[in-house]
Homo-oligomer: A and B are copies of this chain.
């Protein structure tokens, strides 16, 4: 059993974006330091980190020095090269573990895993070429979505098939990358549950939030989600099953479709999740601190909520709304310090206490 990390210990974080930034602040709140590893210059997380390494993920010397300078390593995104993880793991523990990472890095592996532990997922098929796509369309039908198995996020690496005639175009969009075809799920709502597990095996969940997407990017999360108590229980139980099966340590975001037949797991993210940002202003222990508590072997917060919250992402030109948002009562601003505003770029979010 891991001893809890003491005051002054250092957590290494792979990735210096907004998630790394908010993890770093949470670590500080527990008296811990953070060391950011990020290839890009001036990452948002560096503004609130004890130390920052600027180096690519194929720099073995930098990775080695980084791993030696910290007590354990975590990450803010799942697409970390395997070789980098191998170098780090030879020196210091990585949480969440490699199995969780490997599972979530590949949509086919993930779907097989979820189905294998008895959870419902959308109908899916492994697509390697035009013939396997044609066969899958026959089984699954259209509408459907073709998705790359790896490196997809915020709607990237996806092509919709309205009818079988779209097959060739959709396959071309994959640019030869391995893919899966997913059947269309007719859902009444999309929710997510943020769950955590520590090395002692304690599991804690926040109440599910209801998500609205725009252009494939999360727009708002409203907590609590308007779902029957029965489905809340289902969400907690299935999240716990995923975490326990993976011997998971850390916070996980689990995206779910609400359908007349019950919950269908859309995808899992082995990290703090955009749909959990509401916890910063709704709970005594937010998802970022919960993740740090879990990986540091501390007791978990119980996930209880003192306030209902709607989180809204500030994307690209939404930053123009900041002066008005700063005047709004019960509206908590969380800006990421990104100097350059780009279309589709997550610049910050607000939590409205309702």
| Interface residue ranges, A against B (CB under 8 Å) | 4, 7-8, 21, 24-25, 28-34, 46-50, 281, 284-285, 293, 298-299, 302, 304, 306-307, 319, 323, 326-327, 329-339, 348, 351, 353
Contacts and interface: CB of A to CB of B under 8 A. Distances in A.
What is the copy number of this chain in the assembly? 2
A326 B293 contact: yes
Given A4-B323, A7-B337, A293-B326, A284 B28 contact: no
Nearest to A282: B306
Which one of A284, A285, A304, A330 has the highest number of Cβ atoms from chain B below 10 Å of its Cβ? A284
Contact of A7 (B25, B30, B339): B339
A326 B198 CA distance: 13
16 contacts: A7-B319, A7-B335, A8-B339, A25-B48, A29-B333, A30-B335, A31-B348, A33-B337, A34-B47, A47-B50, A284-B330, A284-B332, A284-B351, A299-B327, A306-B306, A306-B330
A333 B33 CA distance: 15
B306 A326 contact: no
Contacts of A323: 4, 299
Contact of A335 (B31, B34, B302, B304): B31
A285 B352 CA distance: 11
Contacts of A337: 7-8, 28, 31-33
Given A326-B298, A335-B30, A353-B284, A307 B307 contact: yes
Contacts of A8: 337, 339
B304 A326 contact: no
B306 A353 contact: yes
